[in-house]
Amino acid sequence: MTVLRTIHGISEDVACALGLLLNLLLIYSIRKANNVELKKYSRILLQSTFVDLVFLAIVFVAKPIVIIWRRTGFYLVNIPIEIPLDFKFLLADFYTFMLFCSPCTTAISFYYRYTVLCLNKPFSLLKQLCYLFGLGVLGIGYMILSLFYLYLRPKERLGIAEELQDMLANGNGKVDAVLLADPGDPYTLIVIGYAAAFTFGSYLVEVWCSWKIYKYLKLFNFNSNSRIKEIQNQITKTLIAQAIFPLLTFTVPMSFLIVNVMSPIEMNPEYSFFAGFIFAYYPTLNACSALLFVKQYRKNISKLAKGYCNIIFPGTCSISTVEGS
């Protein structure tokens, strides 16, 4: 196995470990929160956490590599054991499904908050699950397009990736690409267009809800107590961060990869290799946003850390009661 494959595998493992730790801490903090206003939004924060954990699971198993060579995009599944090509493709396809769905679930969080805060209406668990199901159907539509793309296009084109054996060969000395994006194929534009509409539509929902929430909070500030205003500000910062982080860890790198495929200028394949690194760190940043911006979550983590500190080093850390705020 080449050095780049090894580096990529280690990076994905680090991303999964960090993401798992922070998301488990976030679940603990959400469950321990005792503020009534904050509890209203527990479900939307848990929703993002559980979706991110599924994404981390597929990243850990597949460790997919995205590479652009000769203006053609390839997916590589970086698994140390030999498995059939069709199974590798299914892993890559499910990874792509989660890669698009994970950031897009934030749109449901924004709409949840708009409904609960601005309309003062309940947002039932059944309604939330229906929206997630609808999002899943759109994601499955993308998976089906990818499936047709693999089986209706000549698999011989995958052999182009074997020219990168010196850089990306596995233990058997092969690259073994499982999916490709060919700029000369009109079907590529259909797949890219579907993915772009999927992502852009989610951001439209987030922008619309943000504007409605902003106008409501502007009026709300005149007759709200300071504690509720503080909680609302913390939730606002968290959701904005969860909308911005996908731009940095998904939209920007993905746009770079698409431009790399569609542009007549050929770039060094290592650029696309390192751009694909960033995808796996989205769940880590997502969890950080809530842990950093919500004060009570920080207090819960601090109390947990001090508790373990006292177990390891008795009497060295004082534990204060966590107050709702």
How high is the pLDDT of residue 323?
A: 43
> For position 203, what pLDDT does the model report?
87
pLDDT value of position 151: 65
Q: Are 65 and 8 in contact (CB under 8 A)?
A: yes
- In which residue ranges of the chain is pLDDT below 70? 1, 149-157, 179-180, 220-225, 315-325
pLDDT of residue 1: 61
Assigned token pair, 106: 């934030």
Residues 164 and 27: their CA atoms lie apart, in Å, by: 42
pLDDT recorded at residue 150 = 65
Residue linked to tokens 């780049």: 4
pLDDT, position 228: 78
**What integer pLDDT is reported at residue 259 of this predicted model?**
80
pLDDT of residue 325: 45
What is residue 321's predicted lDDT score, i.e. its pLDDT?
Answer: 45
| Dihedral angle over CA of 242, 247, 251, 255, nearest 10 | 180
117 closest CA partner among 225, 201, 229: 229
| Token pair for 171 | 């233990």
Q: What is the CATH number of domain 3-312?
A: 1.20.1070.10
Kindly list the domain boundaries of the chain, sorted by start residue.
3-312
Q: Label each residue of 224-285 as H, E or C.
A: CCHHHHHHHHHHHHHHHHHHHHHHHHHHHHHHHHHHHHHCCCCCCHHHHHHHHHHHHHHHHH
Q: What pLDDT, on the 0 to 100 scale, is given for residue 91?
A: 85
Residue whose entry in the numeric block shows the structure tokens 């089906």: 144
